[in-house]
Structures are given as C-alpha cells and as structure tokens.
C-alpha cells in the first residue's frame, strides 16, 4: 500500500510532507503507522528519526489512531469570540468523550486547530475535508447524527 503511494512521488526529500499526507489519508484511522514511517524513510533514503521528527513537528500528522471522522474545531480568535469553547463542550457531550479524544467505536475523534480560513462563518469546524460554519447546538447535533446514520 505504501509502495503504491510512494511510487507517485519522486524519491526526493522535499516530497516528504506530500507523501505523509497521502499515507495518512489512505489509512481508515487517519494516522501514520510505524511500518509506514520505516517504508518512507527507506524510500527517501533518510533516517526514521528524520521522518519522525517531521511528523512530530506538524499538528496535522498523528502517530496514534484517530476516528473515521476527524473533527477539527477552530479555536483561533474569531471563532473564540463566537463561542468555540461552547462548540467543544457540545461535541464532548454528544460524543461522550471524557479523557480520550476518540469515541469507543472509533468513529469520531476530536481535535482543536487554529484558524481554518472561514472566519466569516465563525464558529467553524472541519470534519475530514468538509467545513461546517455558523455552528450552534442544533446544527452540530444534526451533523453528527447524520454521519452516524450513514454508518449503520
């Protein structure tokens, strides 16, 4: 699997981030496994430590499993003013998350992120590649239950 992804890129170090994104996106749990790191390091002829170093620097990458739906809530200034804390609390409640940031059924995980560039619609969240704006409790509930229903 990693092989097919790497093949699309020239084995040059400056392709590292692009390769890591593709590998992460191709995993159903949106993270980068140890095996993947090893394969990428070999492919680019750099050390595993160098690959790990890059992964740990960038917040979009994860080395632990995430949900099928990765929820990123913006908590930058414009969203903060419009109640991003509230959005987080609502999501924590609906998804029944306490300590862990991933639901038991591995369907959802919750993270915060900085400005998503849709500040005019604050507060905003992103689920996988989709952006949802002007959030309120009713809207959040509907979005989550629609996703749940789609998975039955």
Nearer to another protein, 59 or 104 (CB): 59
Residues 52-91 that bind another protein (CB under 8 A): 53-54, 57-61, 72, 75-78, 80-82
Alpha carbon separation from 118 to 74, 86, 123, 128 (Å, rounded)? 10, 18, 9, 15
For residues 91 and 143, which CB has a smaller minimum distance to another protein in the complex? 143
How is residue 10 annotated by DSSP?
Answer: -
**Nearer to another protein (CB atom), residue 49 or residue 105:** 49
Report the SS3 class of residue 70: strand
113 binds another protein (CB under 8 A): yes
Which residues bind to another protein, rule: CB under 8 A? 12-18, 20-21, 44, 53-54, 57-61, 72, 75-78, 80-82, 113-122, 126, 129-133
């Amino acid at each position: 699997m990693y092989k097919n992804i790497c093949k699309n890129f020239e084995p040059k170090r400056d392709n590292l981030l692009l390769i890591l994104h593709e590998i992460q996106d191709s995993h159903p749990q949106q993270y980068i496994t140890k095996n993947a790191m090893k394969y990428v390091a070999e492919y680019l002829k750099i050390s595993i430590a160098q690959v790990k170093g890059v992964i740990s620097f960038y917040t979009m990458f994860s080395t632990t499993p995430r949900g099928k739906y990765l929820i990123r809530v913006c908590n930058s200034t414009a969203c903060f003013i419009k109640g991003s804390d509230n959005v987080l609390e609502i999501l924590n409640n609906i998804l029944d998350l306490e300590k862990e940031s991933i639901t038991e059924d591995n369907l959802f995980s919750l993270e915060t992120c900085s400005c998503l560039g849709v500040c005019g619609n604050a507060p905003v969240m992103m689920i996988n590649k989709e952006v949802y704006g002007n959030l309120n409790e009713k809207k959040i509930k509907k979005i989550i239950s629609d996703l749940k229903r789609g998975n039955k």
